[in-house]
């Protein structure tokens, strides 16, 4: 229970509410104290501070009711009718309470506001008995009070309010009550806006986490599909070498073990060093060179002195696999050219190969389809893949940013 209350108080939304209400309650004594510097007839009294605090405590209690009892009906309950009906009932009950319980003076009459009380104190302080005690005499103030009393309109309004208090108080519902109810409605609206903002922020954060988890699951699924596909093609190559050249087959098994170590230990990582990925391509091309004779021209152009950049594992090998699988022809010369270049924070990969007259027609196309899916998930629109296919050649050009 203690942990739940601690988590509740540490939430950013509730922390904002505490800060705002703290400023509201601190602003009351501060404003009354600063008023003593601009008004020499105003005395700072803690009774006035407590009086104003009592009025704001009612707003604070209504805020708690609205935030913890009414707002859950709308956010996240989506019970709009119940929420608005509850707000109307609370606002009506507050209006009746406020109009029926206005602060009263010592003889049962409703107490005038602080401004009118100090206005009366000023008037008495500046009133000097003379031959006549009329409004005309009061209209001639002393030098100290000239800035206040010489305003006849404000004086008439204050006198009118004084008469109203002497007769038993103001009307049941006046312009001040309208202002108070308006402040209550604005407070509820601000509370609703803050609640919706933080709720939408939490929803976006939760959606982002779900999308991230979904992305990781999709990438893991695609990697698990690529790995068996790669090993199947490599084992087929070694099987062919067993009958052609057993010694080369043994060398191929050694190279395959190095490649398997990379796939098993690094293939499931989010990213690997660029040098590791290019070494993996070197091992694969070396394995292919052991199988084919000189009538297949294989060129591998990889940069030296690679920067400390990272790349998703097994993202390039699929294009190289497809090049060897679909380009080799024993009736005519074939070629496979693989080139990698680094420039401006991007990797430029090109795989150019010939097309066999009767290429391997395997069904499924798992490798190329999955690598395109991985590129979409990893880079979105920040990569370029261009396929140029003719009757005799096939060229894949890829540009991806390096992390």
Distances (CA, A) of 115 to 35, 41, 43, 120, 183: 11, 11, 12, 9, 20
**Is domain 211-401 annotated with CATH 3.40.50.300?**
no
* Cα 368 from Cα 394, distance rounded (Å): 14
The answer for residues whose C-beta is within 8 angstroms of residue 156's C-beta and 6 or more apart is none
CA neighbours within 13 Å on the CB side: how many for 322?
A: 25
Residue 51 confidence (pLDDT): 85
* Cα 364 from Cα 193, distance rounded (Å): 52
User: pLDDT in tens for each of the 403 residues of the chain?
Assistant: 444 545 555 678 888 888 899 998 999 899 888 888 888 888 888 888 888 888 889 899 999 999 889 988 888 778 889 999 999 999 999 988 888 876 554 444 444 555 555 544 555 455 545 544 444 444 444 444 444 444 555 554 555 555 555 555 556 667 788 888 888 999 999 999 998 888 888 888 888 877 776 666 666 665 655 556 667 767 887 887 788 778 878 888 888 888 888 877 887 777 889 999 899 899 888 877 877 777 788 999 998 888 888 888 888 888 988 888 887 776 778 899 999 999 888 999 999 999 877 655 554 455 677 788 888 878 888 899 999 988 889 999 999 998 7
Which pTM value belongs to this model?
A: 0.49
* Cα 240 from Cα 225, distance rounded (Å): 24
* Cα 261 from Cα 278, distance rounded (Å): 15
* Residue ranges, CATH 3.30.565.10, the chain: 211-401
User: DSSP secondary structure string, 201-232?
Assistant: HHHHHHHHHHHHHHHHHHHHHHHHHHHHHHHH
The residues that bridge with 273 in the sheet, in sequence order, are: 310
φ, ψ of residue 207 in degrees (nearest 5): -65, -40
* Cα 396 from Cα 390, distance rounded (Å): 12
The residues that bridge with 343 in the sheet, in sequence order, are: 346
CA R_g for the chain? 42
CA neighbours within 13 Å on the CB side: how many for 345?
A: 4
């Amino acid at each position: 229970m203690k942990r739940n209350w601690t988590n509740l108080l540490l939430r950013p939304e509730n922390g904002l509410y505490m800060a705002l209400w703290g400023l509201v309650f601190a602003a009351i004594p501060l404003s009354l104290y600063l008023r003593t510097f601009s008004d020499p007839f105003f005395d700072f009294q803690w009774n006035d501070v407590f009086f104003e605090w009592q009025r704001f405590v009612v707003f604070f209690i209504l805020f708690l009711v609205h935030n913890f009892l009414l707002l859950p009906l709308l956010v996240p309950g989506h019970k709009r009718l119940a929420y608005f009906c509850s707000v109307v009932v609370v606002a009506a009950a507050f209006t009746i309470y406020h109009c029926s319980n206005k602060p009263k003076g010592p003889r049962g009459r409703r107490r005038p506001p602080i401004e009118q009380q100090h206005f009366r104190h000023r008037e008495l302080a500046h009133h000097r008995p003379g031959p006549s005690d009329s409004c005309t005499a009061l209209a001639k103030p002393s030098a100290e009070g000239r800035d206040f009393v010489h305003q006849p309109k404000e004086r008439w309004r204050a006198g009118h309010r004084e008469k109203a208090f002497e007769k038993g108080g103001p009307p049941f519902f006046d312009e001040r009550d309208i202002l108070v109810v308006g402040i209550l409605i604005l407070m509820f609206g601000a509370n609703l806006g803050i609640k919706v903002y933080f709720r939408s922020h939490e929803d976006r954060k939760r959606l982002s986490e779900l999308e991230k988890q979904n992305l990781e699951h999709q990438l893991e699924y695609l990697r698990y599909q690529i790995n068996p596909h790669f090993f199947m093609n490599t084992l087929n190559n070694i099987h062919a070498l067993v009958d052609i050249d057993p010694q080369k087959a043994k060398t191929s098994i050694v190279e395959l073990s190095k490649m398997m170590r990379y796939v098993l230990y690094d293939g499931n990582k989010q990213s690997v060093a660029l040098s590791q990925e290019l070494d993996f391509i070197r091992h694969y091309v070396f394995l292919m060179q052991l199988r084919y004779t000189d009538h297949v021209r294989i060129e591998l152009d990889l940069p030296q002195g690679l920067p400390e950049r990272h790349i998703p594992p097994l993202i390039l090998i699929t294009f190289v696999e497809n090049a060897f699988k679909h380009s080799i022809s024993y009736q005519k010369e074939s070629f496979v050219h693989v080139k990698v270049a680094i420039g401006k924070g991007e990797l430029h990969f090109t795989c150019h190969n010939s097309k066999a007259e009767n290429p391997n027609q395997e069904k499924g196309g798992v490798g190329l389809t999955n690598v395109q899916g991985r590129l979409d998930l990893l880079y979105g629109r920040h990569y370029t893949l261009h396929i140029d296919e003719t009757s005799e050649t096939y060229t894949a050009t890829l540009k991806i940013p390096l992390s």
